[in-house]
Structure 1
């Protein structure tokens, strides 16, 4: 599965000078028996045709859903770029299970590919670029310029900037990072949620138009979600419950604070959007609105469900609202750093009375209490399938992890033989 990238968004340099020779791509992608790559039509394209181009090596596989979703988005960007520039190409490096899976997956791609049968070249490329997870997009520059030689975080850059990232040079990326910082510094609810054609969001009943100005001064959650997404469908009922609890808590406290959520939908058709939104008590951007793609890139949303929290001033408080909801429920409000630190301290105190070892009714091995400092960290709870961090019960034998609140402690003798 795809691992979390740790390199940020700065280009990383591969210091091997032979990579920057005039036959750079031939030395990487050709063998003594093969000097070609496959095209989508089945034709053979000379590897030497890549010389002088910016080349992306796409490491992916049909069996992993994030690869399929990223590949679909990358194909749209690729087609847009190829209409305007000629010095860009992508080469698929497959981790598919068999040739039928390869043919089926590659059949939806518009770029070149290393033949599925050439296992040695695929292994060599994975080792050379230290590919630890998929999807992975390595960007190679054609010139002998070590500053721009090898960029390893192409997936993140495509999600964040799309075609604007081209030609993936350090100069271009520095410019985009600067512009992105300026956008976040100047961010307001108006420039996030409106455009020259629309100054409202949709509400209930009957998809009524609610002016964005009416949301000013409120804490806002932007909920990136879709009906086709199984984790979204599982998380939405929890979020609805927490939404009502936060609203009730604010009403009971009698202060002037207000909380609202706006759905930013990735549904595939109007009917799905209408059905999904009808189950929610909050607001929404219209289906297919052009601002949706801008918001996805602005907040670097790489997977759904995702809950971005905006403060009353329209500035971003956190992009990890979903995780905070899972950890702290309605107590996470107002999601600020100060509140999170308070909750973490409270969690630390509660953890002091937790047993260091337990047996869980749904797992046959013993579970050890771990934290960030002694082998814990971000994880997906095997009980509720939601994110967690900090304290967890972890199986040292098989990697099973669970929120402390999800573990049902039992005597060892009551554990079934199989789990």
Structure 2
């Protein structure tokens, strides 16, 4: 009897020892497999020894859909070179149909939609507070390869270069980034061994403009695309601001500002159509430097406007916000200029009413600043970014730029409504 008990106990020990890290995380009492895109079952144990990414996402949230499209390309590129890599989808979809529809666009594995407990357990274990979230796990939890939690940012910033997504590799990439920033010039940002020019419009088509002619100017890199709805709203505003800045500089006999389009268009016809509406310069469609620039400036969405100073160094990656706030007055976008404009806003705010009744909104709006409940926001009238002073509804969070307020008499408004 004792011999049998000893044998059974040893079997249990052996079973525990043979249960790998991913089997403990991703399997359940009733399930030892994951779903594959073909509908077949893949043993969780097949993941042992691999770098595994856990993708927390859902079909109902647009940023998840956008990130998934980016991740598919990265995944397929990595899988073609590294077999020891896999991603597992951890769904927050609303129902099975939504899960099936969203997962149908993914080339990796997934926890079955019905396994709610495993999904909850993973969410708690990794403190997932928002989606999309991408957690990278290493085959062995060595000190230099601990769990990496900011996978979404890493994919957007480095793409396949971040593989195998361990802290050691990320530290190396950050050191390389620091060196690039310290040695950054306009020429090494925008040129490569095949191209030392950007494009410009002429009556006869596009012509090449030497990059050397831009050295010493303030340059705005405009990351945009024809298919992007926010870009369609921002581009006309940027064109207006660009033309006003160029006119003011021309009156002073100066030519110190230029914009360069960095396109994310999906085909050349779209690029040609979109760029034809713009008065500035552009990188050629499909240029290899586009991806490098997106990673270098950590571009996570478009439209995105980066300002490069006359010395070739980055002034700000928040050019879009400065344009929305200050229009052409933001030029040359330096910290000193922004501080000057903020002081002007402070002075102007003293003459603004503390409370307004805004046309199109049913509650009073309070004037707020960074220090008393304000801060970065999206204006509910023009859908553009704002910061510093705003009119805010304390009941529902509605916020607008002071310049977008259309104040009406509350008493008359209520009489008309009744």
| TM score, norm. by length of structure 2 | 0.91
Q: CA separation of 1:91/1:373 partners in 2, compared to 1, >3 Å: closer, same or farther?
A: same
Aligned counterparts of 2:321 and 2:375: Cα–Cα separation in 1:
13
Alignment of 1:173-184 (within 5 A): 173-184=170-181
1:56 is paired with a residue whose SS is strand
1:120 is paired with a residue whose SS is helix
Aligned counterparts of 1:91 and 1:154: Cα–Cα separation in 2:
13
CA contact (8 A) 1:364 1:415 kept: no
Cross-structure match for 1:212? 211
Aligned counterparts of 1:326 and 1:56: Cα–Cα separation in 2:
38
Give 1:62 deviation, angstroms.
Answer: 2.1
Give 1:33 deviation, angstroms.
Answer: 1.5
Cross-structure match for 2:286? 288
| Pairing 1:199–2:180 present | no
Give 1:197 deviation, angstroms.
Answer: 1.5
| Pairing 1:166–2:130 present | no
| Pairing 1:39–2:36 present | yes
| Pairing 1:237–2:228 present | no
Aligned counterparts of 1:412 and 1:131: Cα–Cα separation in 2:
44
Alignment partner for residue 26 of structure 2, among 12, 24, 29? 29
Aligned counterparts of 1:386 and 1:252: Cα–Cα separation in 2:
30
Aligned counterparts of 2:304 and 2:198: Cα–Cα separation in 1:
19
Aligned counterparts of 1:415 and 1:326: Cα–Cα separation in 2:
30
Give 1:68 deviation, angstroms.
Answer: 2.0
| Pairing 1:85–2:82 present | yes
Alignment partner for residue 151 of structure 1, among 125, 148, 152? 148
Aligned counterparts of 1:229 and 1:415: Cα–Cα separation in 2:
37
| Pairing 1:401–2:374 present | no
CA contact (8 A) 2:144 2:168 kept: no
Higher relative contact order (CA 8 A, sep 6+): 1
CA contact (8 A) 1:22 1:51 kept: no
Give 1:415 deviation, angstroms.
Answer: 4.5
Give 1:186 deviation, angstroms.
Answer: 1.1
Alignment of 1:12-161 (within 5 A): 23-146=20-143, 148-161=145-158
CA contact (8 A) 1:63 1:96 kept: yes
Give 1:286 deviation, angstroms.
Answer: 0.9
Cross-structure match for 1:4? none
Give 1:322 deviation, angstroms.
Answer: 0.3
Give 1:408 deviation, angstroms.
Answer: 1.1
Give 1:123 deviation, angstroms.
Answer: 2.7
Q: Please list the CA deviations of residues 172-220 of structure 1 after superposition, one character each: whole Å capped at 9, or x if unmatched.
A: 1111000011111111111111111111111112111111111111111
Alignment of 1:257-296 (within 5 A): 257-296=255-294
Q: Please list the CA deviations of residues 150-177 of structure 1 after superposition, one character each: whole Å capped at 9, or x if unmatched.
A: 2211111111111111122222111100
Moved over 4 A (4+): 414-418
CA contact (8 A) 1:363 1:415 kept: no
Aligned counterparts of 1:415 and 1:183: Cα–Cα separation in 2:
58
CA contact (8 A) 1:56 1:140 kept: yes
Aligned counterparts of 1:25 and 1:408: Cα–Cα separation in 2:
58
Of 281-290 and 367-376, deviating more is 367-376
Q: Please list the CA deviations of residues 292-324 of structure 1 after superposition, one character each: whole Å capped at 9, or x if unmatched.
A: 111111111010000111111211111110000
2:198 is paired with a residue whose SS is strand
Cross-structure match for 2:356? 358
Aligned counterparts of 1:129 and 1:302: Cα–Cα separation in 2:
23
Cross-structure match for 2:4? none
Gaps of 5+ in 2: 1-17
CA RMSD of aligned residues (A): 1.9
Q: CA separation of 1:414/1:25 partners in 2, compared to 1, >3 Å: closer, same or farther?
A: farther
Of 93-102 and 339-348, deviating more is 93-102
Gaps of 5+ in 1: 1-20
Cross-structure match for 1:383? 381
Q: CA separation of 1:147/1:196 partners in 2, compared to 1, >3 Å: closer, same or farther?
A: closer
Q: Please list the CA deviations of residues 374-396 of structure 1 after superposition, one character each: whole Å capped at 9, or x if unmatched.
A: 22211111110001111111112
| TM score, norm. by length of structure 1 | 0.91
Aligned counterparts of 1:151 and 1:101: Cα–Cα separation in 2:
28
